């Protein structure tokens, strides 16, 4: 198994935790935002996982965003 597959779940879990933290500060009233700012945050959340490999860090950051989006949109659906 390659390193991405080993770390993918960790990255998604970090995204879920991130979304939970944001939900404590902001109302869940619209879909999870995909912005340059959110991408930069996602990159920081996997800085320790990428092993200095920029391509791996990009892929893991996408998984962070995916985890956050899934958690957030599920909460949005339940709230609506």
pLDDT for res 51: 80
21-80 residue pLDDT tens:
999 999 999 999 999 999 999 999 999 997 889 999 999 999 999 999 999 999 999 987
- Report residue 1's pLDDT band, with 50, 70 and 90 as the boundaries: low
For residue 65, give its domain range: 3-79
Indicate the pTM of the whole model. 0.93
Rounded distance between C-alpha atoms, residue 44 and residue 62, angstroms: 12
Residues 30, 45: Cα–Cα separation, whole Å? 23
Domains of the chain: total: 1
């Amino acid at each position: 198994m390659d390193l991405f597959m080993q770390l993918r779940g960790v990255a998604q879990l970090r995204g879920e935790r991130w979304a939970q933290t944001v939900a404590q500060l902001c109302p869940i009233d619209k879909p999870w935002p995909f912005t340059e700012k959110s991408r930069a945050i996602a990159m920081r959340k996997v800085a320790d996982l990428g092993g200095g490999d920029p391509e791996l860090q990009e892929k893991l950051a996408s998984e962070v965003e995916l985890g956050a989006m899934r958690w957030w949109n599920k909460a949005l659906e339940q709230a609506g």
